[in-house]
Structure 1
Amino acid sequence: MYKSEQLAHSLKLLIENGTWKANQKLPSLRQQVEQSGLSLITVMNAYQELEAQGLIYSKEKSGYFVAAQQTKETVHAINEKIEINSIVFKYLKSIQSENIIPLGSAFPNSQLLYSAKLIQTLGQLARQRRSYEQTPSLPPGNYELRKIIAQKYAMQGIPTDPSDIVITSGGLDALNLSLQALTHAGDYILLQQTIFYGAWQAAERLGLKVITIPEHPVHGIDLDAFEQAILKYPIKVCMLMLNSQNPIGFTVSDEIKLELAKLLNKHQIYLIEDDVYEELHYDQKKPLSMKYFDQQNWVLHCSSFSKTLGAGFRIGWVYAGKFSEHIQHSQLMSTLSVNSFIQNALVEYLSHRHYEKHLKTLRSTLQRFKKQYFNYLKNHLPDSCQIHYYPSGYFLWIELPEQVNSNVIYHTMLEHGVSITPSHLFNITDQNHHFIRINCSFEINERIQNALNLLVEIIQNQMNG
């Protein structure tokens, strides 16, 4: 963790525990330099990060102040008929052209992902016909690959047997298979109000009723709202993103995860954890998954290699535990099996230290790019726009003034050959459609800078219009 991030974290705790009250003035930059012994630029970066998270605000010539931390109203939206598949399909079709500048892409820049060592491994295996002709490809997947994944869990203090793991065709397949194993049409599930559109698509496909809870402005997930929802409605399954949440970006603290695990156990509710961004953290220590806090097997943990090795390596998995066989049966009737050649290549690649080296470089590059996007947009967007910055992943979540419709921004940008992602894809209610998600995994060259300038211009025009 960088010194500025350490300082930001320390100051954040003072705000969260009430030591610093709402609207209280913070020590000036120079006072903070004297108190902490850090450089002025380090302190400035820490304050800017807290401001980006909405924890503090600045007044011209007056300094920085603690922002009022108001919990959003805990209204639970009941969505008995989800209709989002056609919307997502039209959106994805609209941005797939190679000529579109992909600030709306869900995947990192492919030039950062495809490891030379992995490509070399693929070439070597391709010349060995046995690697893809004699290897069983039926569920639950390659045993050696499952053993490597089980070892990764064990290294985080999660006892795991390869039989607990089912290999899937990517993270979304893992989520769908898990949800299918745990629910029937008409069941109630709980989602975060703003969440990856794949969760909404799964709910629509399976005919599920959805209860949503709003995000907590500080902790990410609102435990009070969560408990109210599970007491009021017959929730069968929760599907949550708690590490580098898409689209907002926050990572829920270990303390909140522990309390959440207690509630799941107390009320005997299953959690499907979408953790596809687990490796894209900027801290030295990987964030813990909910599976770590799961003592009674209420959590099914889903992840994937596609966000770290590229969309072409759409290999995911689910820590299925006692649901392993059920999920395998569902898999046989849907995706059937996962590419055995790619599984073999991953086994060879992951058996050495190539992956860890690749991840270290990827994290460093994504962190640098994301900071550049944040600083650029912070300096050019109107002050009424809030940029939510969190130290992980490759997305920025931008909050626009309420009168600005993100869908209008998306269509206008698209007419100029640039994609962004409007918030109605993540939140199907009629509220909060003044947010956009930006993919920051592309180096800011002239083409990208022109796209960002265009975004700023269009937002300003919408605000003035």
Structure 2
Amino acid sequence: MYKSEQLAHSLKQLIENSTWRAHEKLPSLRQQAEQSGLSLITVMNAYQELEAQGLIYSKAKSGYFVAEQHSTRLNPVLAINDKIEINSIVFKYLKSLQSEFIIPLGSAFPNSQLLYSPKLIQSLGQLARQRRSYEQTPSLPPGNYALRKIIAQRYAMQGIPTDPSDIVITSGGLDALNLSLQALTQTGDYILLQQTIFYGAWQAAERLGLKVITIPEHPEHGIDLAAFEQAILKYPIKVCLLMLNSHNPIGFTVSDEIKLKIAKLLNQYQIYLIEDDVYEELYYDQKKPLSMKYFDQQNWVLHCSSFSKTLGAGFRIGWVYAGKFSENIQHIQLMSTLSVNPFIQNALVEYLSHRHYEKHLKTLRSTLQRYKKQYFNYFKSHLPEQCKTIYYPSGYFLWIELPEYMDSELIYQQLLQHNISVAPSNLFNITNQQNHFIRINCSFEMNEKIQNALDKLIEIVKININQ
């Protein structure tokens, strides 16, 4: 046993027999080195091992402390620490989608042919001929007032009283998430993520040097409330970043009952939540699902959304319902993205001021629902029985579970050789515990080209199962 492991074992016994109690400060690295006669690097390795096991936690410039201990631990709650390395994986993956010959079943965006509304294109053309209409528009944060007013009105329609000053316009949904995290955290802070979540959340944590605690998905409710509360009891969580509507990549929408319980826990433990809700408009039922902002009574929630998934990737206009953090986010934005394209903002104001957007959304939802059911039925009929296709009535993703011994990264690489992309689960879960899932984009019409791609996917899965 290495010296660091011996020290970690000794310290663990002191914690488990309550010699050191919850939230008690441990000796500093230097003090521990002097007491034990070990080197600083050995002590640091021991502390990091205890931190990874959830037995201790660190605070920036304050040292290490004993974590809350519980007799019944949920093993899936994992401390990822600050060693997140996913950006290079995402970079290689996104580069692989750029070829014009690729069939983009792994794309995060809906089929562009479904998105670009003719009325919106018409608005762009009209504005382009009226140069003054956008040259004289203020372009600095927080963004176009008329656009923020329209967004505020859409919140109000869902029973969420909103003032335009609460809204900051951003360069897409990911920009809204990054700005919100920057406003709420500092390097070394703990944040909480779902174990499987959009890779942009992992990239943001890596870039900002945050420590990540993950909670598992619940097979029925989407989010495991017991694990959620256990995590915020055990660790000094600063911020949670969750997807609760049309989750990417799995697809579930969390019930209002669970959202209300989450809101109560946020208020009880005074923890902020950044909600990634970019798929909020892509529901299939008659009623739009509520955001966490609806249940937020004490301003613990920052709500982030975007027009990119409904009007096209080219319209990278998002926003954050920032509330009291609005000014702080604007200052950060001024030092990074500076401002959002005023021309596009003006075009959206013109477009959203009429009923064009609602008509477009109605057609988009209907088409996505029809396509997704077609893909689901095809996979259900043709995939081997060892595979499970997970269907939720929203969005445009299917989440396919392969046999546990299979590696979805291998399936992805094999399909790339045939100019077909899928999204392997290591993009969404960096714990190396669930690498046997793939995400499929179902927003493309089931023509001969797409069907051949699906057949090739099914063929490769069968080959790997039979090996």
TM range (shorter): 0.7 to 0.9
Cα deviations across residues 189-245 of structure 1 (Å, max 9, x unaligned)? 000000000000000000000000000000000000000000000000000000000
Of 203, 217, 236 in structure 2, the residue corresponding to residue 215 of structure 1 is: 217
Q: Residue 72 of structure 1 contacts residue 214 of structure 1 at CA under 8 Å; is this kept in 2?
A: no
Deviation, 1:401, is: 0.2
Q: What is the rounded CA distance, in whole Å, between the counterparts of 1:128 and 1:437 in structure 2?
A: 43
Q: Where do 1:249-398 residues align within 5 Å?
A: 249-398=251-400
Q: What is the rounded CA distance, in whole Å, between the counterparts of 2:82 and 2:357 in structure 1?
A: 43
SS of 2:303's equivalent in the other structure is strand
Of 184, 188, 192 in structure 2, the residue corresponding to residue 190 of structure 1 is: 192
SS of 1:221's equivalent in the other structure is coil
Q: Percent identity?
A: 84
Cα deviations across residues 356-387 of structure 1 (Å, max 9, x unaligned)? 00000000000000000000000000111111
Partner of 1:97: 99
Deviation, 1:81, is: 1.2
Deviation, 1:95, is: 1.3
Cα deviations across residues 50-86 of structure 1 (Å, max 9, x unaligned)? xxxxxxxxxxxxxxxxxxxxx9853323332111111
Task: Indicate yes or no: 2:85 matched with 1:79.
Answer: no
Q: Where do 1:102-141 residues align within 5 Å?
A: 102-141=104-143
Greater Rg, structure 1 or structure 2? Answer: 2
Q: What is the rounded CA distance, in whole Å, between the counterparts of 1:385 and 1:310 in structure 2?
A: 32
- What amino acid does structure 1 have at the position aligned with 2:167? I
Q: What is the rounded CA distance, in whole Å, between the counterparts of 2:80 and 2:435 in structure 1?
A: 18
- What amino acid does structure 2 have at the position aligned with 1:289? S
Cα deviations across residues 311-353 of structure 1 (Å, max 9, x unaligned)? 0000000000000000000000000000000000000000000
Give the TM-score of the pair, scaled to structure 2: 0.84
Partner of 1:237: 239
- What amino acid does structure 1 have at the position aligned with 2:189? D
Q: What is the rounded CA distance, in whole Å, between the counterparts of 2:193 and 2:358 in structure 1?
A: 32
Q: Residue 190 of structure 2 contacts residue 213 of structure 2 at CA under 8 Å; is this kept in 1?
A: yes
Q: What is the rounded CA distance, in whole Å, between the counterparts of 1:383 and 1:324 in structure 2?
A: 51
Q: What is the rounded CA distance, in whole Å, between the counterparts of 1:378 and 1:78 in structure 2?
A: 35
Deviation, 1:131, is: 2.1
Q: What is the rounded CA distance, in whole Å, between the counterparts of 1:437 and 1:119 in structure 2?
A: 31
Q: Residue 405 of structure 1 contacts residue 434 of structure 1 at CA under 8 Å; is this kept in 2?
A: yes
Q: What is the rounded CA distance, in whole Å, between the counterparts of 1:252 and 1:97 in structure 2?
A: 36
- What amino acid does structure 2 have at the position aligned with 1:76? L
Q: What is the rounded CA distance, in whole Å, between the counterparts of 2:416 and 2:139 in structure 1?
A: 41
Partner of 2:421: 419
Partner of 2:404: 402
Q: Residue 240 of structure 1 contacts residue 274 of structure 1 at CA under 8 Å; is this kept in 2?
A: yes
Aligned length: 395
Change beyond 3 A, Cα 1:122–1:72: farther
Q: Give the superposed CA RMSD.
A: 1.0
Q: What is the rounded CA distance, in whole Å, between the counterparts of 1:269 and 1:103 in structure 2?
A: 37
SS of 2:78's equivalent in the other structure is coil
Q: Residue 103 of structure 1 contacts residue 419 of structure 1 at CA under 8 Å; is this kept in 2?
A: yes
Q: What is the rounded CA distance, in whole Å, between the counterparts of 2:77 and 2:88 in structure 1?
A: 27
Give the TM-score of the pair, scaled to structure 1: 0.84
Unaligned residue ranges in structure 1 (runs of 5+): 1-70
- What amino acid does structure 2 have at the position aligned with 1:186? G
Cα deviations across residues 5-36 of structure 1 (Å, max 9, x unaligned)? xxxxxxxxxxxxxxxxxxxxxxxxxxxxxxxx
Q: What is the rounded CA distance, in whole Å, between the counterparts of 1:113 and 1:165 in structure 2?
A: 24
SS of 1:307's equivalent in the other structure is helix
Q: Residue 264 of structure 1 contacts residue 271 of structure 1 at CA under 8 Å; is this kept in 2?
A: yes
Cα deviations across residues 33-54 of structure 1 (Å, max 9, x unaligned)? xxxxxxxxxxxxxxxxxxxxxx
Q: Where do 1:53-72 residues align within 5 Å?
A: none
Of 454, 458, 463 in structure 2, the residue corresponding to residue 452 of structure 1 is: 454
Partner of 2:152: 150
Q: What is the rounded CA distance, in whole Å, between the counterparts of 1:286 and 1:454 in structure 2?
A: 36
Deviation, 1:98, is: 1.1
Cα deviations across residues 293-315 of structure 1 (Å, max 9, x unaligned)? 00000000000000000000000
Q: What is the rounded CA distance, in whole Å, between the counterparts of 2:216 and 2:207 in structure 1?
A: 23
Q: What is the rounded CA distance, in whole Å, between the counterparts of 1:263 and 1:76 in structure 2?
A: 20
Q: What is the rounded CA distance, in whole Å, between the counterparts of 1:261 and 1:86 in structure 2?
A: 35
Cα deviations across residues 253-292 of structure 1 (Å, max 9, x unaligned)? 0000000000000000000000000000000100000000
Deviation, 1:132, is: 2.0
Partner of 2:70: none
Cα deviations across residues 117-153 of structure 1 (Å, max 9, x unaligned)? 0000100000000122110000000000000000000
Partner of 1:162: 164
Unaligned residue ranges in structure 2 (runs of 5+): 1-72
SS of 2:302's equivalent in the other structure is strand
Of 152, 171, 175 in structure 1, the residue corresponding to residue 177 of structure 2 is: 175
Task: Indicate yes or no: 2:90 matched with 1:88.
Answer: yes
Q: What is the rounded CA distance, in whole Å, between the counterparts of 1:350 and 1:442 in structure 2?
A: 26
Q: Residue 238 of structure 1 contacts residue 270 of structure 1 at CA under 8 Å; is this kept in 2?
A: yes
Moved over 4 A (4+): none
Q: Residue 213 of structure 1 contacts residue 222 of structure 1 at CA under 8 Å; is this kept in 2?
A: yes
Q: What is the rounded CA distance, in whole Å, between the counterparts of 2:123 and 2:77 in structure 1?
A: 51
Q: Residue 72 of structure 1 contacts residue 216 of structure 1 at CA under 8 Å; is this kept in 2?
A: no
- What amino acid does structure 2 have at the position aligned with 1:223? L
